[in-house]
């Protein structure tokens, strides 16, 4: 699962999600965590933060105001405040351990939704690709048929001369 951390010092969870100095994004699984990106934000721009958080299931933050919560809900990212003020490494370890143990119900539901969304995206991309290939092959078939008709028309004319 993809998670983000709102931080000012790249070590602790100490900022609100849409006003963070840095957003650190990780992929977390039972095996551990892999850092995907570290984004430094020069000024608090909620739109930039929301764009960077797209695809993250959770954001660990120090606090969340109602307006930020609404923005995060729109992109389907859940703010978690339980590790506010703690080191990021500690939160990653805790999340990894939860993945290893029998995951709590809310975590299983979030993972299930993420898998469905990924599967739907794959089906949509495949359908789009199949449609493009079918259109291209129809275009080739039409061109081939047209060429064959032109040759059939030209053949009798050439035979008479």
> What is the count of structural domains for the chain?
2
The pLDDT assigned to 70 comes to 92
Note down the domain range covering 121.
103-155
Please report whether residue 127 resides in a domain: yes
Q: Are 68 and 128 within one domain?
A: no
Q: Are 96 and 122 within one domain?
A: no
Q: Are 36 and 51 within one domain?
A: yes
Q: Are 119 and 54 within one domain?
A: no
Q: Are 64 and 129 within one domain?
A: no
The pLDDT assigned to 83 comes to 92
Percent over 70 (pLDDT), the chain: 75
Q: What is the chain written as a DSSP string? A: -EEEEEESSSSB--S-GGG-SEEEEEEEETTEEEEEEEEE-SS--HHHHHHHHTT-SEEE-S---HHHHHHHHHTT-EEE-TTTTSBHHHHHHHHHHHHHS---HHHHHHHHHHHHHHHHHHHHHHHHHHHHHHHHHHHHHHHHHHHHHHHHHHHHHHHH-
The CATH number of whichever domain residue 84 belongs to comes to 3.30.420.130
The pLDDT assigned to 59 comes to 94
pLDDT per residue as tens digits for the range 76-120: 999 999 999 999 999 999 888 887 776 566 666 777 777 787 778
The pLDDT assigned to 117 comes to 79
Please report whether residue 97 resides in a domain: yes
pLDDT tens per residue, the chain (161 residues)? 899 999 999 999 999 988 888 999 999 988 888 999 999 887 767 888 888 998 899 999 999 999 999 999 999 999 999 999 999 999 999 888 887 776 566 666 777 777 787 778 778 878 777 666 655 655 555 555 555 555 555 555 554 44
Q: Are 69 and 108 within one domain?
A: no
The pLDDT assigned to 116 comes to 80
């Amino acid at each position: 699962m993809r998670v983000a951390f709102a931080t000012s010092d790249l070590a602790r969870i100490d900022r609100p999600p849409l006003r963070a100095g840095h957003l650190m994004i990780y992929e977390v699984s039972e095996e551990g965590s892999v850092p995907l990106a570290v984004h430094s934000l020069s000024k608090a721009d909620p739109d930039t933060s929301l764009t960077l958080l797209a695809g993250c299931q959770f954001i660990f933050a120090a606090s969340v105001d109602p307006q930020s919560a609404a923005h995060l809900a729109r992109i389907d990212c859940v703010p978690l405040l339980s590790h506010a003020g703690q080191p990021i490494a500690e939160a990653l370890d805790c999340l990894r351990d939860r993945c290893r143990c029998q995951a709590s119900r809310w975590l299983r539901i979030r993972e299930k939704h993420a898998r469905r969304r990924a599967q739907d995206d794959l089906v949509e991309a495949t359908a789009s690709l199949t449609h493009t290939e079918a259109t291209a092959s129809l275009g080739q078939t039409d061109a081939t048929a047209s060429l064959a008709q032109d040759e059939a028309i030209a053949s009798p004319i050439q035979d008479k001369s």
